[in-house]
Amino acid sequence: MPEVAILLLENCQPSAVFTVIEALCVANFIATTINRNSDPAFSWRRASLDGRPVRAMCGVSLSADCSATELGKPDLLFAPAIDIPEPHTITRTIQRLESQWGGLLRRHHEKDGYVAANCSATFLLAEAGLLNGKQATTSWWLAGMFRRQYPEVELLPDLVVKDTRIFSAAAYSAVLNLALEIISEFLGPQSMLPCARVMLIDANRTQQLPYADLAMQIEHGDALVLQGQTLLLKHVRNPPDVAGLAARLHVTSRTLERRFKKAIGQTPLEYLQSSRIENTKRLLATTHLSLEQIADRVGYGNPGSLRRVFVREAGVSPSTYRRSFAVGRRV
């Protein structure tokens, strides 16, 4: 029977803790009731550093089943997201948590154990050195900060990523998909799919790109890059090329590319394309404009080109995005 240990981090997200537990409960229900197995599929324990209750987000108190030293050898350690009220405090918070939990996480993984985290807790795995040279994900609004702090990690826009027995997930509802992946890993897809149906989870939802907001990419503190972003957005229909943009900003093209990459994880041209897709999302959600009209407004030559790029960047078609996110569902 696989055992999951849920680490009760200070200021952790209660919903992440209980979402994983409830998903495992559903897996047990299906195993014992529907499949008529004699034993539950999973067991779990909640562990705090000292075995005492932990104060979580929103003032919620979470009780522990044991201390970290009493865990034994669970199959998987799950680190739930932690509250980061001010972005500038994340480094200090993560370093403190790594000093408390990093050794346990590293030793567990070195002994062929599984590790999982969601949202901001992915920073903890990276700080502990578990993600070096690996693929991972985090919430889209933390992606720029993550890339700057951990450039050796290949960050993906997926809801859930698995690499070398390490699961990482995006924020909030992505924990549901993370739980499904854990169930599938230990019990197989044939056990995961009934759980997805019972919990009404879309097991085919794989990316968080439709939810991303490009506005979060201006909080990087690089004045040169901000000037470049402003010029690209101002001239989105007829933007300068990299050489032209660099000349306007009085730097070399190489310097401009390097500064953009460091600040937002994109080249100027990649940022321009992302801004066009972001404008397309906004117009799809708030207007009745046709795709041809939108393509003209955001600087694409024809709607076919926009549709192809939109599907690649947003993960869904323009029509699907409009049906899902139109304000008031008036379309």
Q: What is the CATH number of the domain that holds 297?
A: 1.10.10.60
Is the domain of 27 the same as that of 105?
Answer: yes
- pTM higher than the cut 0.85: no
Question: Residue 193 maps to which CATH number?
Answer: 3.40.50.880
Counting Cβ atoms within 10 Å, is residue 262 exposed (0-12), middle (13-18) or buried (19+)?
A: middle
Nearest to 259 by CA among 219, 304, 316, 220: 220
Is the domain of 135 the same as that of 255?
Answer: no
Q: Which domain holds residue 170?
A: 3-210
In tens, the pLDDT along 100-146 reads 999 999 999 999 999 999 999 999 999 999 999 999 999 888 888 89
In tens, the pLDDT along 185-203 reads 999 888 888 898 888 887 6
Is the domain of 184 the same as that of 280?
Answer: no
Is the domain of 243 the same as that of 175?
Answer: no
Is the domain of 177 the same as that of 268?
Answer: no
Is the domain of 203 the same as that of 219?
Answer: no
Percentages helix, strand, coil for the chain, rounded to the nearest 5?
Answer: 55, 15, 35
Q: Rounded to the nearest 5°, which phi and psi values hold at 297?
A: -70, -35
Q: Rounded to the nearest 5°, which phi and psi values hold at 160?
A: -140, 135
How distant is the alpha carbon of residue 261 from its chain centre? 20
- Most confident stretch, 143-147, 152-156, 222-226: 152-156
Residue 10: which pLDDT band, with cuts at 50, 70 and 90? Answer: very high
Is the domain of 23 the same as that of 91?
Answer: yes
Domain count, the chain: 2
Is the domain of 203 the same as that of 243?
Answer: no
Is the domain of 224 the same as that of 203?
Answer: no
Is the domain of 102 the same as that of 8?
Answer: yes
Phi-psi region of 290 (alpha: psi -120 to 50; beta: other; left: phi over 0): beta
Is the domain of 187 the same as that of 250?
Answer: no
